[in-house]
Amino acid sequence: MADFIYGHWAVIETLRASKRSLEQLILTETVEEKGPVGEIISMANERGVKIKRVPRRIIDDLANGANHQNTLLRVGPYPYADVENILSVAQERGEKPFILLLDLLKDPQNVGVLLQAVAFVVSGTLAVATGAPVPEAGEVLAGLAAGVGNAAGLLCFYRATQLGPLSLVTPIGALGAGVPVLAGLATGESASAVKLAGIALALAGTALAARGPGGQEAHADRSAAVAWAAASAVAFGLFLAAMAPAADGGVLSTQRLAGPLQNADDPTRRARPHRRSGYPRAVGHPRDGRRSPD
């Protein structure tokens, strides 16, 4: 039974990995062959994937009304590896195998939680074994702020991509890199004219992107997308600004403090179950007896 992958980034990564059988790329009739869509078409042609254009309502139905960005990829089942394959690869690399067994796992988000728990335990063990000093109160707060900022930034960014096109959301989210610069200026650091000019150009470009026409990727709530993208920029900026003082307490301490929070609300680690089939929508789902266009 076929699965359906939708959205620019998901389709691009699936084509790039080529782990599944790539059966058909389905596009809406009106989407233009430029930007991410142009890259997707080029990758599909290189891999011999059939391309078909259909009315938007068909992709709406196959994606269950999700924000598919006019792009859907029909693929075969995911080729999971068995234990023998894992042990064989470890032997070929001359490494001791490390296998985490998960039984009766119903919520895919738990995988991220478990991995973070493993990272927390390992970093804590290394800190004790190496005699790493206990971080000061300011370093603890900075580490916690970095974790909260990264988690909030991811949440806001992915919410923005649900409401608006990547061509709008990405440049706004990238402004988060300017938050540490502004924080430095506020604390008395100086900036060269070139740096200030770069900040001004970034703000001007973002303003133009926010006001520009949506074209084929127009979304109903563009202003909300801008607001969520701006919130993600602020949150990512908090993460970048807080990591420096947090790292004063050591890399291991930073991982222990910021790590568990960084992915606490990461929507990329949470697959939303389909109402009837139970398949995760984050990777596409079979459509209960409905077929995609041949």
Domains of the chain in sequence order:
3-80+273-283 (3.30.1330.30), 109-269 (no CATH)
Question: CA angle, 93 as apex, 87 and 98 as ends, to 5°?
Answer: 45
CA distance 132 to 183: 29
The residue among 19, 62, 68, 18 whose CA lies nearest residue 43 is 18
Core vs surface per residue 17-51: b (16+ CB within 10 A) or e: eeebebbbbbbbeebeeebbbeebbebbeeeebee
| pLDDT on residue 22 | 94
How far is the C-alpha of 106 from the C-alpha of 166, rounded, in Å? 31
Helix (H, G, I), strand (E, B) or coil at 199: helix
**Closest Cα to residue 266, out of 234, 235, 220, 221?**
235
Residue 186, Cβ neighbours under 10 Å: how many? 8
Q: Where are the alpha helices (DSSP H) in the chain?
A: 8-17, 35-46, 56-62, 83-93, 109-130, 137-163, 166-173, 178-186, 193-211, 222-247, 251-262
What is the reported pLDDT for 52? 94
pLDDT attached to residue 267: 45
pTM: 0.46
Q: Burial level of 180, CB count in 10 A (0-12/13-18/19+)? A: middle
C-alpha closest to that of 28 among 65, 63, 61, 58? 58
Q: 213-246 burial string, b = 16+ CB within 10 Å, else e? A: eeeebebeebeebbbbbbbbbbbbbbbbbbbebb
Q: If DSSP codes are grouped into helix, strand and coil, which group holds residue 23?
A: strand
pLDDT computed for residue 57 by the predictor: 92
Per-residue pLDDT of the chain (294 residues; tens, 9 = 90+): 688 999 998 999 999 998 899 999 999 999 998 888 999 999 999 999 999 999 999 999 998 888 899 999 999 998 888 888 889 988 999 988 878 777 776 666 566 667 777 777 777 777 677 776 666 777 778 777 887 888 888 888 888 887 877 777 888 888 887 787 777 777 777 777 777 777 777 777 766 665 555 444 444 477 888 889 889 988 888 888 877 776 665 544 544 444 544 444 444 444 333 333 333 333 443 333 344 555
pLDDT at 261: 47
Strand partners, 73: 5, 25
H or E segment to which residue 54 belongs: strand 50-54
User: How confident is the model at residue 273, as a pLDDT?
Assistant: 36
